[in-house]
Structure 1
Amino acid sequence: MTHQLVIKKAGQALPTAHKVLIMLHGRGGSADDILSLSQHLAVSDFALLAPQASNHTWYPYSFLSPVEQNEPSLSSALENITQTVQTAVDSGIRTENIYFFGFSQGACLTLEFLARNAQRYGGAAVIIGGLIGEEIDQTNYQGDFQQTPIFIGTSNPDMHVPVERVHESAKILTAMNADVTVKVYDNFGHSINNEEIEWANKLVFT
């Protein structure tokens, strides 16, 4: 399956905004769902862009499956993010003013995109996610984050994302010169808590 490019918009009008937040929903979710979370984030002056996955799923299998099993959906999903970023750039937004928020499958996709396209961004907050693949293939990753702040919140244990993969991902991103903060919440479950939102606002959005 490949994805059509459908971007839901909210917040400030893109032509007049100075900052953009790209939001990526999880499996079974929607662009509207993830956009609704923005009311809890310190992004009132941001334009909000949320691409919608076809059939509400960015890729069919676990992010820990061999990458080949999730193709062509994974590559198509990454291309959708590329085009969403380009939409912001074409409106005059510099990459250092482009931010990201992702949850679950959207968190994994966010981290994978960032690692493959490292440069100075405004920042990223991801909840319950890690770099994609049965084994992490660092040959896919290049660039310098130039101390882009990245916040990763997660639960331990989590039914979909082992905490070991979260820490492994954070280590790789740090080595690529990202300013990474990881917060692990014991037995919280596969969801977003208020403290994670507070950390995201403190470290990334303000």
Structure 2
Amino acid sequence: MVHHLDIKTAGTALNEAAKVLIMIHGRGGRAEDILGLTQHLNVGGYALLAPQATNHTWYPKSFIAPAEQNEPWLSSAINIVATTVKAAIDAGITSENIYFFGFSQGACLTLEYITRNARKFGGVVAIIGGVIGEKINRANYGGDFQQTPVFIGTSTPDFHVPIERVFETENILKEMNAVVNLQVYENAGHAINQEEIEWANKILS
């Protein structure tokens, strides 16, 4: 089973918006749930696009499982994000006006997509995530972020996302010319905290 394209929308109509925020939900989540977060975000004037994972999961195994164990779902999920980005670009939104917000499995998918397709984006918020694979395949990643701001928030310890992978992800992003702000919260749980929302709003404003 691979993903069916199902993009939920909110905010300003895409053909009228100056900016787009693409929101990627976590495992077991719904597009509507992550769109609900925008009541706490500075997204006035943004078109909001949230693709829905088929069966509510982007890929079946842990993000640090061997890559082949997450196929073909992972490649399909990356393609869904790419298709969502293309919808924005086709509507006349330039990449530097495209923003991302991902949580948990959605944060991993967001980070994997952007590192495979690095360019000048508006900004990226990834809450509890890292690039995907048992081993990092640096050959998958290319491009230049041209100083795109990236905020990564994570809790330590986190049952799903080891802090070492978050640090490795930070290093890759920096090597690719992103401006990374990593905030690590002690025992914060697998959730989004108020300070992370405030950091997100600095990127979105």
Scaled to the shorter chain, the TM-score interval is: over 0.9
Do structure 1's residue 132 and structure 2's residue 135 form an aligned pair? Answer: no
Do structure 1's residue 20 and structure 2's residue 20 form an aligned pair? Answer: yes
SS in 2 for 1:49: strand
TM-score (norm 1): 0.99
SS in 2 for 1:15: coil
- Give 1:104 shift: 0.1
- Alignment size in residue pairs: 205
Q: Deviations over 1:131-154 (max 9, x none)?
A: 000011000000000000000000
SS in 2 for 1:196: helix
SS in 1 for 2:44: coil
SS in 1 for 2:21: strand
- Give 1:45 shift: 1.3
Q: Deviations over 1:140-175 (max 9, x none)?
A: 000000000000000000010011110110000000
Q: Find the counterpart in structure 2 of residue 114 from structure 1.
A: 114
Q: Find the counterpart in structure 2 of residue 35 from structure 1.
A: 35
The aligned amino acid for 2:204 is: F
1:46-85 equivalences under 5 Å are 46-85=46-85
Separation in 2, partners of 1:27, 1:155: 17
Q: Percent identity, aligned pairs only?
A: 65
Q: Find the counterpart in structure 2 of residue 45 from structure 1.
A: 45
The aligned amino acid for 2:181 is: T
SS in 2 for 1:191: coil
SS in 2 for 1:102: strand
SS in 2 for 1:14: coil
The aligned amino acid for 1:154 is: T
Q: Find the counterpart in structure 1 of residue 166 from structure 2.
A: 166
RMSD of aligned Cα (Å): 0.5
Q: Find the counterpart in structure 1 of residue 141 from structure 2.
A: 141
Separation in 1, partners of 2:170, 2:43: 24
Q: Find the counterpart in structure 2 of residue 99 from structure 1.
A: 99
SS in 2 for 1:16: coil
Q: Deviations over 1:71-126 (max 9, x none)?
A: 00000000000000000011100000000000000000000000000000000001
TM-score (norm 2): 0.99
Separation in 2, partners of 1:45, 1:91: 15
Runs of 4+ in structure 1 displaced over 6 angstroms? Answer: none
Task: List gaps (5 residues or longer) in structure 1.
Answer: none
